[in-house]
């Protein structure tokens, strides 16, 4: 695959920065990160363009004129943007300033007569391919598309002078988000639960198995969104987390495409389901047909030894 001359990364979180820096290295001859916040966390690219600290008086959006000026000066071929809420906002601002549009939620990016992205449509049932031939392409990138590696400090750190925005939005208050902090994207082993579980108490069976094998617990969307038995950060799939574990055990999960695309990169998939015709059995490496209430205690007991 041919490479682009200059690929920029814009991320607001360290995990995404590491993933996108790796992607930039695959796609570009030279790479640069645009970073605001803790300077000591920035790295992984040839250059870091450091914007400054974030505070209530200076939120990420306030850096938009600074970033636009930088991009117009440096003319990168591609800007990879973290697909977070603020990332998507900045992608739109950058693209509008560069007279182009955003290639949204890329699940794959290649270089072939321009920048070619693929993204999931129809709830993950199909892929849409888009090509940009703009001088500067802006793409938001879904989490887990590139392998995150700690690629070390940048050779070159450039402090970018702040350009004050005209009308500003002021941050009035910051609050710690209620709920759990879990990073399923980084988990090596995942035990995932679905609607085969009939009560929150029954989830303990999966939690005990997860504890025995050192796994994180994930779930399907209905368990988080409808039953609300688990935090939304734990649901896997096209509209949740895209995970890449070495081992995924799906229990009481039917295997709908919207869930399974979230573990399509798992190295080994094990399914436990009482219905021998469940779709998940067509997508797993090993399957156990049985009632989770019988299978899980037996499996946990064996694996705890
Ligand atoms: C636009 C869109 C986006 C979506 N995005 C996502 C997403 O990101 N992630 C996601 O997960 N879903 C998503 N969904 C929902 C998805 O289509 C499925 O509805 C969902 O994944 C099904 O969840 P489930 O497997 O837990 O439940 P079900 O499909 O109800 O399956 C339950 C399974 O449990 C088995 N079972 C029942 N009792 C037992 C028992 N005692 N022991 C063992 N097995 C048992 C049953 O045989 C069945 O196979 C999305 C849907 C749409 C339309």
pLDDT in tens, 209-239: 999 999 999 999 999 999 999 998 899 998 8
243 CA distance to ligand 1 centroid (A)?
17
3-state secondary structure (DSSP) of residue 235 = strand
**Range 93-116 average pLDDT:** 95
Q: How confident is the model at residue 12 (pLDDT cuts 50, 70, 90)?
A: very high
**Range 2-13 average pLDDT:** 95
Q: Where are the domains of the chain?
A: 4-159, 184-304
DSSP state of 270: E
**Range 177-200 average pLDDT:** 89
Largest interatomic CA distance in the chain: 65
Taking 70 as the threshold, does the pLDDT of residue 270 lie above it? yes
Taking 90 as the threshold, does the pLDDT of residue 283 lie above it? yes
- Give the residue whose CA is nearest to atom 14 of ligand 1: 258
Contact 18, 153 (CB under 8 A): no
194 CA distance to ligand 1 centroid (A)?
6
Average pLDDT of the chain, as a whole number: 93
In the chain, the percentage of residues whose pLDDT exceeds 90 is 76
Contact 49, 160 (CB under 8 A): yes
- What confidence score (pLDDT) does residue 180 get? 66
3-state secondary structure (DSSP) of residue 266 = coil
Residues with CB under 6 A from ligand 1: 123, 194-196, 220-222, 235-240, 252-254, 256, 258-259, 272-275, 278, 291-293
DSSP state of 241: B
220 CA distance to ligand 1 centroid (A)?
6
Q: How confident is the model at residue 171 (pLDDT cuts 50, 70, 90)?
A: confident
- What confidence score (pLDDT) does residue 197 get? 98
20-70 pLDDT, tens digit per residue, is 999 999 999 999 999 999 999 998 999 999 999 998 888 999 999 999 999
> What sign does the dihedral 144-147-151-154 (CA atoms) show?
negative
88 CA distance to ligand 1 centroid (A)?
29
Q: How confident is the model at residue 175 (pLDDT cuts 50, 70, 90)?
A: confident
Which pTM value belongs to this model? 0.72
126 CA distance to ligand 1 centroid (A)?
19
Q: Which CATH number fits domain 4-159: 1.10.10.10, 3.40.50.620, 3.40.50.300, 3.30.70.330?
A: 3.40.50.620
Closest residue by Cα to residue 83 from 29, 23, 132: 23
The answer to whether domain 4-159 and domain 184-304 are alike in fold is yes
Cα separation, 121 vs 71, whole angstroms: 30
Closest residue by Cα to residue 46 from 64, 68, 21: 21
Cα separation, 64 vs 164, whole angstroms: 9
**Range 58-86 average pLDDT:** 95
Q: Which segment of 65-74, 135-144, 147-156, 277-286 scores lowest on mean pLDDT? A: 147-156
Beta strands (DSSP E) in 185-253 are 189-193, 216-219, 247-251
C-alpha distances in Å from residue 161, one per residue of 33, 70, 153, 158: 15, 10, 21, 9
> Cα dihedral angle (280, 184, 10, 24), rounded to 10 degrees?
-60
- What confidence score (pLDDT) does residue 115 get? 96
Taking 90 as the threshold, does the pLDDT of residue 129 lie above it? yes
Sheet containing 137-141: give its strands across.
102-106, 137-141, 78-82, 4-10, 28-36, 47-52, 156-159
**Range 102-124 average pLDDT:** 91
> Cα dihedral angle (295, 296, 299, 303), rounded to 10 degrees?
180
3-state secondary structure (DSSP) of residue 304 = helix
Cα separation, 16 vs 199, whole angstroms: 35
The token duo for 169 is 């939005």
**Range 107-132 average pLDDT:** 90
- What confidence score (pLDDT) does residue 304 get? 87
- What confidence score (pLDDT) does residue 154 get? 67
- Measured in degrees and rounded to the nearest 5, phi and psi for residue 134 equal -65, 150
- What confidence score (pLDDT) does residue 149 get? 75
For the CA of 253, the closest atom of ligand 1 is 25
What is the CATH architecture of 184-304? 3-Layer(aba) Sandwich (3.40)
Cα separation, 60 vs 90, whole angstroms: 9
């Amino acid at each position: 695959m041919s490479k682009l001359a200059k690929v920029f990364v814009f991320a607001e979180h360290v995990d995404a920065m590491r993933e996108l820096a790796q992607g930039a290295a695959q796609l570009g001859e030279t790479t640069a990160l645009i970073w605001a916040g803790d300077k000591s966390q920035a790295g992984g690219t040839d250059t870091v363009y450091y914007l400054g600290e974030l505070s209530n008086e200076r939120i990420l959006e306030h850096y938009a004129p600074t970033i636009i000026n930088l991009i117009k000066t440096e003319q990168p071929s591609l800007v990879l943007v973290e697909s977070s809420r603020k990332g998507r906002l900045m992608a739109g601002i950058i693209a509008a300033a560069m007279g182009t549009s955003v290639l949204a939620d890329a699940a794959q990016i290649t270089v072939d007569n321009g920048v070619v992205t693929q993204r999931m449509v129809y709830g993950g049932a199909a892929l849409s391919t888009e090509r940009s031939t703009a001088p500067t392409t802006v793409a938001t990138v879904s989490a887990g598309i590139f392998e995150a590696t700690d690629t070390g400090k940048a050779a070159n750190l450039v402090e970018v002078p702040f350009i004050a925005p005209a009308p500003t939005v002021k941050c009035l208050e910051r609050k710690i988000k209620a709920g759990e902090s879990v990073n399923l994207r980084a988990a090596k082993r995942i035990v995932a639960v679905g609607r085969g579980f009939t009560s929150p108490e029954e989830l303990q069976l999966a939690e005990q198995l997860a504890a025995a094998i050192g796994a994180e617990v994930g779930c399907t969307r209905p368990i988080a969104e409808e039953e609300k038995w688990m935090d939304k950060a734990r649901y896997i799939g096209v509209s949740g987390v895209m995970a890449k574990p070495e081992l995924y055990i799906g229990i009481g999960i039917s295997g709908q495409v919207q869930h399974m695309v979230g573990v399509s990169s798992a190295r080994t998939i094990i399914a436990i389901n009482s219905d021998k015709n469940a779709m998940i059995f067509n997508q797993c490496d090993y399957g156990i047909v049985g009632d989770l209430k019988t299978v899980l205690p037996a499996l946990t007991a064996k694996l705890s030894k």
